[in-house]
Chain A
Amino acid sequence: MRVMKELIRNRGLYSMAIPGLVFLAVFSYIPLAGHLLAFKNFQISRGIWGSEWTGLDNFRFFFSNRDWIQVTVNTLYLNALFIVFELVFALLIALFLNEIRLKWFKRTVQSVVFLPYFISWIVVGYMTFILFNNTDGLINRVLDMAGLQAVDWYQTPWVWPIILTLTRMWKSAGYFSIILLAAIAGISTDYYESARLDGATRFQQMRYITLPLLRPQLIILVLLGVGRIFYGDFGMIYGIIGDNGILFPTTDVIDTYSYRALRQLGDFSMSSAIVFYQSVMGLIAVVSFNALIRRIDKDSRLF
């Protein structure tokens, strides 16, 4: 009854959540039922309930080949690189922007670092190709002019985690820096004033005031990243690497791997099996990371 009363009294405020809740229900909760397909031999003509149960058979293609370890490791490894470097870089940008006093300069820099976020991965794929290709690639031309040996970039697997991480930093660090900058703007100026009275330098203010107060936001951003750590960024990897088998050892992620496995077969159940695997592992990752945070800093945990 208390809940109902509360809901009725503040109906104006609560109703604001309706669009969001509808969205969440339609796109996040209802599709959960789709996990059922992973355990069925789904045939569209027979429908979801008419298709027979097959136990774990749909998982067999993925787990009976040892490549699954490789692609899982790649997915985790690449995403970990992305989370760490994106956030560190975003934090640096945010701190830097915060120190700029010239308004127009600050705004310009902010826009410039934010812009790449809106470029599609397909376009980014073309851009990396123009930079790194072996026929008339920009980087090889520069190396050539400097009298250095050209590199077959697209035949050298180990450099790609680095290139991908750099691309990712370039593309999304600006976006995250805006979030962090908003958090910084919310920090009360009183702290800084009293610090200045005590003779703290700008660097000390950053180190002892801004950074500690940003911790909750940083932790949330990391948690959000960890929640999707088992999902490879298909648009990115496929846009940049494509079907170049030579680079698969370091760049193939769960999503691109299963795409190639199933694009000929078009089997819905087998794809659902992969999504199920990713969801379960993602859930485990978030819960355990959250438990870890709870130990270190109880107030920053998500739940």
Chain B
Amino acid sequence: MAKWKTMWIVPAVLALAVAAAGCSGGDSSPAADPGGTGLEPVTLEIVVPGNKGANFDEVLAEVNKRLKTEMNTQVKFTMLDFADLNQKTNVMLASGENVDLVFDAPWLHLDAMASQGYYEDLSELIGQYGPNVQKTRPDQMWDANKINGKIYGVPLGSAYTQQRSVFIRKDLREQLKLAPVKTYADLKNYLYAVRDGGSGITPLLAGADDVTYSWVNWLIRDDTSVNIRPTNFSGASLMLYYKGNDGKVYNFFETEEPAILSAIADTRKLFEDKVMSQDVLTNKSGPAEMQLQNKVAATPQMAFAVPDSFNDQLKQVASGGELEPVRLFDLTPGSNISNFKMDNFICIVKTSKHKDRAMMFLDWANRQENYDLLEHGIEGVNWKASGEHKYETLNNDSGIVSFQLIQNPVLEREWAGSDEETLKYNQFITQDDNFTKDVMTGFTFDPTPVKNEVAQFSTIQAKYYNGLFNGALDPDDYLTRFKAEGADILKKIQTEFQRQVDEFLAKKA
């Protein structure tokens, strides 16, 4: 039994080791200061959506090399899949994980997180460390993107509305002997022709996991005759919407808005006619992925032009396969309304220990040479400059981040290979005077007074919205049920929303 006397040391040491492992970490090597900046060495943790490209490590190494000499800083990126973005950032923030810069957006949970105090108010930091962050964005953009009068995130974007189109198969269209698709009627024509063409490809797939991509939302967005816009009380849901520019919050259960109703009926027909994918609610792969696998012939996409990489991928699966965009966006100046609200933001986390440095890094990233490195990769290897604000690609690799961290209208370059038509659309949306200014510009809804109702409505909406707005559920039956369950709760949210809107408008007047 003698060996028992010392045996207890093993588990005890093990326990200590576990405990010690939990406590270690942090800045381990207080390395030298090669640039002579007089700054403490800092490693910034950055969390953004996206994928790591093939040359991610090379570009990041160059970024860190420059940062080391200029401000004794290193950056570490955590790239999250869009599908996990909501949940993971939520948990990271709520658990106070060690993150300095995090991506957020109105379509994610920016307003809720900001009002709960997860993000730092940036006004002072920008004034002190961010001259480049400031001057690469027009004043109008700063004014329009405040939350409760404060800047909780640097607005990211170079246009006043999102690029959008429906990607269809050019090769299929030509095989079916159809003229180029210009209108929604043409598009439907194409979809039915694909269905009857015997290729076995599903004609249309909208995106049911994100309300923005539901087919009804997609159609309504480009209908400038009604100018219906989501209020963002619950993602891009149209159950409470703005219409025109009258500062009123409309409740779909009450108005039964004809434009939305007819789009729902129309989409239902597409589903019943087996034009819309029968698995629109359950597909495990996203629309783009399915389209590039040669399984779907049309998908809604946030772009005016098809990226080259898409066509390269498609050709590997279907020889001769080629995508082309169908743009239903209205190019009449003044017909689209914009609140100049950007879709994406980069925020500094309240619990960060390196807020100053995080802003210094953002300022660094908003200088042309660094902006180009982050967005397009290494100059001379991945891309080269071409004329004023244009670039040419040299190989298939690009940079590591763009819309997630730095994008702004001043430094953004246009791809030199874009065709005339695409350029026309791209340039249209970067001009602020092409848009009518939304009276709600600068307004943000604070959900806290009705958070119970918002939570409840989210669960009810989850049962019906995607099904109805993608045609999978019969509106005659399910819209009635949706109304029976949700009308009272939605009314309460609407009343509070309208109260906040009125207060905002009164203050402005």
Contact = CB atoms under 8 A, between A and B. Distances in A.
Interface of A: 11-19, 22-23, 43-46, 57, 60-61, 64-65, 67, 125-126, 129, 133-135, 152, 154-155, 242-246, 248, 257, 259-268, 270
Contact of A65 (B18, B209, B282, B456): B456
Given A67-B459, A129-B284, A11 B278 contact: no
Given A22-B19, A134-B278, A243-B208, A265 B118 contact: no
A8 to B, nearest CB: 11
Contacts of B506: none
Given A264-B109, A265-B454, A257 B281 contact: no
Interface of B: 4-5, 7-8, 11-12, 14-15, 18-19, 86-87, 90, 93-94, 96, 109, 112-113, 116-118, 202, 208-209, 234-235, 277-279, 281-284, 350-351, 447, 451-456, 458-460, 462-467, 472-473, 489
B455 A265 contact: yes
Contacts of A265: 109, 112, 447, 451, 454-455, 458
A12 B4 contact: yes
A263 B90 contact: yes
Contacts of B7: 12
A132 to B, nearest CB: 9
A266 B454 contact: no
Contact of A244 (B282, B451, B456): B282
Contacts of A154: 279, 281-282
B456 to A, nearest CB: 5
Given A154-B281, A270-B451, A12 B456 contact: no
A261 B8 contact: no
B94 A268 contact: yes
A245 B235 contact: no
A203 B19 CA distance: 52
B199 to A, nearest CB: 14
Given A45-B117, A135-B279, A260 B447 contact: no
A74 to B, nearest CB: 13
A266 B15 contact: no
Contact of B350 (A15, A45, A64): A45
A15 B454 CA distance: 51
Contact of B14 (A19, A57, A133, A257): A19
22 contacts: A12-B4, A12-B5, A12-B8, A16-B8, A19-B11, A19-B18, A22-B18, A44-B96, A44-B118, A44-B351, A57-B452, A64-B456, A134-B279, A243-B208, A244-B282, A245-B467, A246-B281, A248-B462, A261-B455, A262-B458, A263-B109, A264-B112
B458 A133 contact: no
A133 B282 contact: yes
Contacts of A245: 281, 462-467, 473
Given A263-B90, A270-B451, A243 B466 contact: yes
B341 to A, nearest CB: 17
Contacts of A67: 459-460
Contact of B93 (A125, A152, A244, A266): A266
Nearest to A270: B455
A99 B12 CA distance: 42
A270 B459 CA distance: 14
Interface class of chain B by DSSP: helix
A44 B284 contact: no
Given A15-B8, A135-B202, A260-B459, 4 more contacts: A12-B7, A22-B18, A245-B473, A266-B113
Contacts of B455: 61, 261-262, 265, 267, 270
A67 B455 CA distance: 12
Contacts of B19: 22
Closest 7 CB pairs of A and B: A45-B117, A15-B8, A134-B278, A61-B452, A245-B463, A61-B455, A12-B4
Contacts of A260: 458-459, 462
A219 to B, nearest CB: 30
Contacts of B465: 245
A248 B209 CA distance: 15
Nearest to B90: A266
B234 A243 contact: no
Contacts of B117: 43-46
Contacts of A13: 4
A133 B281 CA distance: 10
B452 A18 contact: no
A86 B418 CA distance: 59
Contacts of A64: 452, 456
A245 B280 CA distance: 12
B94 A266 contact: yes
B452 A60 contact: yes
Contacts of A268: 94
A135 B212 CA distance: 24
A46 B8 CA distance: 44
A92 B12 CA distance: 41
Contact of B15 (A12, A22, A44, A61): A22
Interface centre among A154, A257, A264 (most CB of B within 10 A): A264
A80 B345 CA distance: 45
A197 to B, nearest CB: 40
Nearest to A132: B282
Nearest to B117: A45
B450 to A, nearest CB: 10
A152 B462 CA distance: 20
A265 B106 CA distance: 12
B284 A264 contact: no
A277 B467 CA distance: 31
Contacts of B473: 245-246
A44 B92 CA distance: 12
B283 to A, nearest CB: 8
B479 to A, nearest CB: 13
B209 A243 contact: yes
Contacts of B94: 44, 266, 268
